[in-house]
């Protein structure tokens, strides 16, 4: 019996694309200053090539390839400060996510497992979402970061429920679902075939190119991680409640592949 549902924050509750674009833009600007012949699209192409090859850390790899250690440290530190300072402004709630959380909270206990800092807690409280979560495991508070199973174990300890009675919802097969499944949790993948559905529709050509690159790389996830088989697959966060209701009522949530339920 499903007792607890744990959700990721980025790209499940909050659209993190505007914030990650800001971070990527600042790193690309630093690279272009050091190498005037390299434009934003060149840096983006270098990132996409590494990400499409399965790199877990494509941004640090690209930055380290073009900047010396001191310059890397400087741009990483300044960008982190800016990102933290603008977290609330650049982390909009995903369409339909608040309604899904409210509906799920009527039937299940809810928790968060997320690679996020203290500013995330404040943002969720500001949006009126934090009150629905009885267990909050944020990486900066716990001191462990996905895909480290210890972050998930901290959440499970707080819930006091066995992994087999818990579901993890995330947008990353590697960071969210693999460690959860390894602990015995059921998993739900929000795969976002269209990133615009998360809400961010920038006018800037570079921002659009960045979002499109993210979408292309995300589409490769099943091929890059073929050993990870989610229990449930939905296209968008807004689909999660209906898919879970279908499963709880004995359905399959849609047309399924081996070991998967899709909607």
Question: pLDDT tens for residues 66-105?
Answer: 999 999 999 999 999 999 999 999 999 999 999 999 999 9
Q: Which two tokens stand for residue 6?
A: 């744990």
| Stretch (H or E) spanning 63 | helix 58-66
Question: pLDDT tens for residues 186-229?
Answer: 999 999 999 999 999 999 999 999 999 999 999 999 999 999 99
The verdict on residue 263 lying in a domain is no
The yes-or-no verdict on residue 260 having pLDDT over 60 is no
Question: pLDDT tens for residues 4-21?
Answer: 999 999 999 999 999 999
Same domain, 165 and 117: yes
- With a CB cutoff of 8 Å and minimum separation 6, the contacts of 78 are 26
Same domain, 62 and 8: no
The yes-or-no verdict on residue 244 having pLDDT over 80 is yes
Report angle CA 186, 9, 121 to the nearest 5 degrees. 125
Q: How far apart are CA 107 and CA 85, in angstroms?
A: 35
Same domain, 170 and 80: no
Question: pLDDT tens for residues 155-179?
Answer: 999 999 999 999 999 999 999 999 9
Measured over the CA atoms of residue 219, residue 222, residue 225 and residue 229, the dihedral's sign is positive
Same domain, 136 and 10: yes
Instruction: Give the CATH number of the domain where residue 241 resides.
Output: 3.40.50.1000
pLDDT of residue 249: 82
Which among 41, 43, 85, 74 has a CA at the least distance from the CA of 208?
A: 41
Rounded to 5 degrees, φ, ψ at 138 are -100, 140
Give the pLDDT mean for 231-243.
97
pTM of the model: 0.93
Question: What is the number of structural domains in the chain?
Answer: 2
Which residues form the domain of 128? 4-15+92-190+231-248
Contact 169, 240 (CB under 8 A): yes
Same domain, 130 and 53: no
pLDDT of residue 252: 63
With cut-offs at 50, 70 and 90, classify the pLDDT of residue 2.
very high
Q: How far apart are CA 18 and CA 216, in angstroms?
A: 17
Q: Is 167 left (phi over 0), alpha (psi -120 to 50) or beta?
A: beta
Same domain, 211 and 123: no
The verdict on residue 41 lying in a domain is yes
Same domain, 33 and 112: no
The yes-or-no verdict on residue 31 having pLDDT over 70 is yes
For the chain, what is the mean pLDDT? 95
Contact 97, 238 (CB under 8 A): yes
Give the pLDDT mean for 22-37.
98
The verdict on residue 137 lying in a domain is yes
pLDDT of residue 96: 98
Q: Which two tokens stand for residue 44?
A: 């983006």
Same domain, 26 and 150: no
Same domain, 41 and 152: no
With cut-offs at 50, 70 and 90, classify the pLDDT of residue 248.
confident
Please state whether beta strands 109-114 and 135-138 pair in parallel, antiparallel, or not at all (unpaired). parallel
The verdict on residue 260 lying in a domain is no
């Amino acid at each position: 019996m499903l007792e607890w549902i744990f959700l990721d924050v980025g790209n499940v509750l909050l659209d993190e694309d505007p914030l990650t674009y800001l971070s990527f833009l600042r790193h690309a600007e630093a690279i272009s200053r050091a190498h005037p012949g390299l434009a934003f699209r060149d840096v983006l192409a270098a990132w996409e090539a590494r990400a499409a090859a399965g790199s877990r850390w494509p941004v640090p790899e690209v930055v380290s390839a073009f900047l010396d250690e001191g310059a890397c440290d400087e741009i990483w530190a300044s960008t982190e400060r800016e990102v933290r300072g603008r977290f609330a402004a650049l982390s909009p709630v995903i369409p339909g996510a608040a309604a899904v959380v409210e509906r799920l909270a009527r039937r299940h206990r809810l928790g968060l497992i997320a690679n996020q800092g203290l500013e995330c807690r404040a943002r969720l409280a500001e949006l009126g979402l934090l009150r629905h979560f009885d267990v909050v495991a944020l990486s900066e508070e716990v001191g462990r970061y996905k895909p480290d199973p210890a972050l998930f174990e901290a959440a499970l300890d707080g819930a006091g429920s066995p992994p087999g009675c818990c579901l993890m919802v995330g947008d990353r097969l590697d960071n969210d679902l693999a460690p959860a499944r390894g602990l015995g949790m059921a998993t739900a993948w929000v795969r976002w075939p269209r990133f615009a559905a998360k809400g961010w529709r920038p006018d800037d050509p570079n921002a659009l190119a960045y979002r499109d690159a993210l979408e292309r790389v995300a589409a490769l996830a099943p091929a890059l991680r073929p050993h990870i088989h989610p229990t449930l697959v939905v296209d968008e966060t807004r689909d999660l409640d209906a898919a879970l209701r279908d499963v709880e009522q004995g359905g399959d949530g849609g047309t399924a592949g081996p070991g998967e339920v899709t909607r």
